[in-house]
Amino acid sequence: MVPHTIVSVVDDDASVRESLPDLLGELGFEARSFASAEEFLASDAVRHTRCLIIDIALPGMSGPKLTRELNRRGQRMSTIFITGHGDDGIRARLIQQGATECLFKPFTDDEVRAALDAALPGHGPR
């Protein structure tokens, strides 16, 4: 059986891949984490992910390139970008291109919760 709401985290930083899924679990979501865009694309999680939390700067395929590839494949999901090297110009550009939110590291639990509420309106945790 597929869970109600899967949130996938794609980040090359191991500490983010460990801590963010823990927070998502506390919020009642099933979380999966991936070290790269390519790893995510090769997984079965692509079909079941309702929201993607992804770092902008990844080795190999970047976060924005991943979202373009997902769109090309017809895989639509809400997207929340995260970055440690951003500014409001990057945030505005990503939102204009369809992202729900762009959070700057370090972000708070409340910022993640608010971004998820925006990304998944009416689709609370399982």
pLDDT value, residue 22: 96
Give, for all 126 residues of the chain, the pLDDT tens digit.
344 679 999 999 999 999 999 999 999 899 999 999 999 999 999 999 999 999 999 999 999 999 999 999 999 999 999 998 877 799 999 999 999 999 999 999 999 999 999 999 876 554
Q: How far is CA 21 from the centre of its chain?
A: 11
Classify residue 125: in a domain, yes or no.
Answer: no
Q: Report the CATH number that the domain containing residue 29 is assigned in CATH.
A: 3.40.50.2300
Nearest residue to 34 via CA among 57, 53, 47: 53
Look at residue 88 in the predicted model and tell me its pLDDT.
78
Q: How far is CA 62 from CA 5, 78, 106, in A?
A: 24, 17, 20
pLDDT of residue 2: 42
Structure token pair of residue 9: 């985290």
On whether residue 85 sits in a domain, the answer given is yes
Residue 110 lies in a domain: yes
Task: Tell me the H-state helices in the chain.
Answer: 14-26, 37-41, 45-48, 63-72, 88-96, 109-119
User: Which tokens in the block code for residue 61?
Assistant: 């395929």
* 124 domain-assigned: no
Write down the pLDDT at residue 3. 46
Let me know if residue 59 belongs to a domain.
Answer: yes
Distances (CA, A) of 41 to 8, 46, 85, 113, 121: 11, 6, 24, 25, 25
Total of domains in the chain: 1
- For the question of whether the overall pTM of this predicted structure is more than 0.85, the answer is yes
Owning domain of residue 90: 6-119
Residue 77 lies in a domain: yes
Residue 1 in any domain: the answer is no
Query: Tell me, what's the pLDDT at 85?
Result: 81
